């Protein structure tokens, strides 16, 4: 087994882990800051993909279609939070039922509007060669995208006034209102940012995963498990779990089969939840 093959496997696995992280980060924001388990996360990802696809079909370059997708999903997320989610804070089971119902509605609307099969936009045709092996360039670009997205959200939540207000609105809502923070507006913005990140994931992954009504199913289960394993420090914890679980599953799949990779993912997830029932970050000092 040559060094070229090992380097190819490692880069490919890091790319797969980065794709999982991109799909997970919006869920981590909503669950970590708001305590809302958004079971419609996969559908917001799908809405982002369809928004980007529609924009490109209208002649908008793909790079500019991505912010269009983010804006659309943020707007829809704000409406959902205003009409439904804000009445259910602190009621985890009720929010799960509500977002599950929303996911069904969005899925059926996508089937009615777009059908079950839609054309993709095609992956950019450039590659990186490592010895005798060649890797598609666009999936490798997701490593950089994941790093930038994670860094942006981390800085947004820890180094800005909005980030402090967002954490205060959820952790100490009464005190936040007492010092003049409009918790309802901050919560709406936080939920819409989480939805916008899902839309960003759907748009940026469109060349890799064609837009279909069910495309979110491919990500939401693993994304949800990554966030649960991460524990209370959802943002930084999710980065570690997405890279560890996603990368490990991809390496396993490279040497064995894709089924073996999935088995690895779920077995390691079960083992971690058995060892750390409230997540791997339960005893961390940092809380973002």
User: What digits encode the pLDDT tens for the residues 193-232?
Assistant: 999 999 999 999 988 888 888 888 878 888 888 888 887 7
Residue of 231, 69, 239, 74 whose CA lies nearest to 154: 239
pLDDT for residue 204? 94
H/E element, 65: helix 62-83
pLDDT along the chain (288 residues), means of 10: 78 88 88 81 93 91 93 95 85 86 93 80 76 79 91 84 73 66 79 93 90 84 86 78 87 83 89 85 66
Residue of 45, 19, 41, 42 whose CA lies nearest to 243: 19
Q: For residue 194, with 0-12 CB atoms within 10 Å meaning exposed, 13-18 middle and 19 or more buried, which class applies?
A: buried
Contact (CB, 8 A) for 186 and 210: no
Helix axes 217-230, 41-57, angle to 10 degrees: 130
pLDDT for residue 288? 60
Beta-strand ranges (E) seen in the chain are: 127-130, 133-136
Any idea where the domains of the chain sit in the sequence? 3-219
Give the sign of the dihedral formed by CA 269, CA 17, CA 44, CA 157.
Answer: positive
Give the sign of the dihedral formed by CA 167, CA 279, CA 41, CA 140.
Answer: positive
Contact (CB, 8 A) for 140 and 17: no
CB count, 10 Å around CB of 287? Answer: 14
- Cα 115 to Cα 32, 105, 204, 211: the distances in Å are 34, 14, 21, 11
* Strand partners for 136: 127
**Angstrom distance (rounded) from CA 39 to CA 26:** 12
Contact (CB, 8 A) for 230 and 240: yes
pLDDT for residue 95? 87
Residue of 33, 61, 94, 59 whose CA lies nearest to 232: 33
pLDDT for residue 172? 65
């Amino acid at each position: 087994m040559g060094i070229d093959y090992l380097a190819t496997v490692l880069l490919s696995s890091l790319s797969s882990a980065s794709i999982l992280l991109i799909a997970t980060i919006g869920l981590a924001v909503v669950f970590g800051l708001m305590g809302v388990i958004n079971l419609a996360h996969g559908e917001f990802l799908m809405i982002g993909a369809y928004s980007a696809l529609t924009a490109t079909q209208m002649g908008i370059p793909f790079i500019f279609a991505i912010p269009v997708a983010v804006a659309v999903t943020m707007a829809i997320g704000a409406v959902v939070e205003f009409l439904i989610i804000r009445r259910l804070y602190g009621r985890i089971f009720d929010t799960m039922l509500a977002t599950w119902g929303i996911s069904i509605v969005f899925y059926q609307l996508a089937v009615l509007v777009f059908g079950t099969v839609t054309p993709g936009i095609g992956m950019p045709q450039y590659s990186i060669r490592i010895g005798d092996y060649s890797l598609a360039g666009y999936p490798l670009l997701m490593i950089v995208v994941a790093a930038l997205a994670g860094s942006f959200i981390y800085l947004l939540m820890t180094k800005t006034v909005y980030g402090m207000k967002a954490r205060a609105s959820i952790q100490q809502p009464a005190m936040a209102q007492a010092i003049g923070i409009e918790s309802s507006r901050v919560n709406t913005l936080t939920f819409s940012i989480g939805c916008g990140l899902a839309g960003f994931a759907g748009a940026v992954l469109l060349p890799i995963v064609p837009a279909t009504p069910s495309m979110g199913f491919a990500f939401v289960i693993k994304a949800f498990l990554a966030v649960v394993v991460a524990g209370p420090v959802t943002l930084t914890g999710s980065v570690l779990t997405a890279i560890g679980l996603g990368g490990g599953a991809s390496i396993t799949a490279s040497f064995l089969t894709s089924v073996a990779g999935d088995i690895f993912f779920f077995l390691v997830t079960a083992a971690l939840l058995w060892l750390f029932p409230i997540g791997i970050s339960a005893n961390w000092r940092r809380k973002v």
